[in-house]
Amino acid sequence: MRSRNTAPQQPIGLVPGSIAALALCGLTMSGLLPGIIWKLVSILLCGMVWWQASLNVMAKMDRRQRFIFQALCYIGLFLMPLIGPGELPRMEYIALKFTGVFLWALIIAIIYNIIYKNKPKMRKKIVAGNWKMNTLPAEGVELAKGVVAGRGEVCSCVNFIVCPPFTHLAMVAEALKGSDIELGAQNCAAEAKGAYTGEVAAQMIAALGCKYVILGHSERRQYYGETSETLNKKMAQAYANGLTPIYCVGENLDEREAGKHFDVVKAQIEEVVYNLTEEQFKNLVIAYEPVWAIGTGKTATADQAQEIHAYIRKVLADKFGAAAAECPILYGGSCKPSNAAEIFAKEDVDGGLIGGAALKAEDFLAIGKGFQK
């Protein structure tokens, strides 16, 4: 059974559902499909499509647009009973009015969907390379130089970030000088400074020129026991030192197969991101990385990515409202030049957090070319 935390169900495909609902309403209201059963079916279908269309569009709206949308729906609700014939049998009359109300709301939702679908995204497009524990310092510098050299071939609208191991940060920072490629670290300590042997403070990586820090990567959660409690502290350290966290979420294979992926990412967001202030939230990047797709060659399909990215944005909007529309959400997990374009073309995918393919400058840059929107 699905728990209450799961994503809203998509009861029916929006386009075929809308066509079917509009056709059915037309036929029942014109009397070509007589009888109360048809009317009830058309009410149900309109209701389902309207519900889905509303969820889709309202997730993309700011507070003012939501207000207008809901006001238009309510105006229909109040006006519809005043319009049309009054001398039908009681049930027929109620069915006719309900159909009219749903039809009205459905038309508004469809118009909004069309408007929002065609509106260009204003969010940052990001391609970030997580080098993990790969390359020696000199190799890292070569890699960074390769990215700098080819950067001009990719649209300047794409923001590139490289996240080498700690040991390479200073040298890679030097190699990136004069380019617009930004530097990130793969982790930072939960404490500011002191007797924490082997740890690297957020203040230290910031001093080396890092602008970003990856936090909550599944490999850190899995192999180093990072919990939401630790991550809350790390996030605080990142913000205190002017770093933008790239906060990773994602489910493992068992969780995906059990249909729990929505619950898992929701909890990962609620336990950490919900503790941020509105100001901090404006400076956050989310990376959705399904554990089963990391380094396995198995990629989430573009539709799977879009489904969960849209859900993540909705979870963010529940807490931060319209600001959620501005938060970049990256996809990570076997992303490569051959699949980037399809994944990045999705509405709620704003780029990628790249592992293996970030270790070759050519591939990393080619992924950046995947942006067509």
Residues that bind ligand 13P (CB under 6 A): 130, 217, 289, 294-295, 332-335, 353-357
Residue 2: strand, helix, or coil: coil
Minimum CB distance to ligand 13P, residue 332 (Å)? 4
Write down the least CB distance from residue 335 to ligand 13P, Å: 5
CA neighbor of 28 nearest in space, from 15, 43, 11, 18? 43
* Minimum distance from residue 323 beta carbon to ligand 13P (Å): 25
**39 CA to centre of own chain:** 38
Q: Which residue has its beta carbon closest to ligand 13P?
A: 355
Question: What are the structure tokens assigned to 256, written together?
Answer: 């995906």
Minimal distance in Å, beta carbon 15 to ligand 13P? 33
Q: Nearer Cβ to ligand 13P, position 28 or 339?
A: 339
Q: Which is nearer to ligand 13P, 47 or 356 (CB)?
A: 356
**Shortest distance, CB of residue 311 to ligand 13P, whole angstroms?**
20
- Smallest gap from residue 28 Cβ to ligand 13P (A): 51
Distances (CA, A) of 92 to 30, 98, 199, 281, 348: 13, 10, 72, 51, 42
Nearer to ligand 13P, 39 or 220 (CB): 220
Burial, 14: exposed, middle or buried (Cβ in 10 Å; 0-12, 13-18, 19+)? middle
Nearest approach in angstroms of CB 205 to ligand 13P is: 17
Using an 8 Å Cβ cutoff, are 17 and 49 in contact? yes
CB nearer to ligand 13P: pick between 7 and 359:
359
| Closest distance to ligand 13P from the beta carbon of 330 (Å) | 9
Give yes or no: 309 in active site: no
Q: Which helix (H) or strand (E) holds 228?
A: helix 228-240
CA distance 306 to 171: 37
The helix (run of H) or strand (run of E) holding residue 125 is strand 125-130
By beta-carbon proximity to ligand 13P, the closer residue of 45 and 269 is 269
* Nearer residue to ligand 13P within complex by CB, 50 or 288: 288
Q: Which of 261, 289, 307, 309 is catalytic?
A: 289
Nearer Cβ to ligand 13P (61/287)? 287
DSSP β-ladder status, 158-163 and 182-185: parallel
Q: Which of 290, 285, 177 is nearest to 238 (CA)?
A: 285
Residues 6+ apart with CB under 8 A from 349: 302, 305, 306, 309, 329, 330, 331, 343
Phi, psi of 59 (to 5 degrees): -65, -25
- Residue 340 tokens read as 């980037």
3-state secondary structure of 148: helix
Strand partners, 201: none
Residues with Cβ within 8 Å of 53's Cβ and at least 6 positions away in sequence, in order, are 14, 18, 106, 109, 110, 112, 113
Known catalytic residue at 229: no
Catalytic residue (choose from 217, 251, 307, 309): 217
**Residue 121 CB neighbour total at 10 angstroms:** 14
Q: Which is nearer to ligand 13P, 3 or 301 (CB)?
A: 301
Q: List, by residue number, the catalytic residues.
A: 217, 289
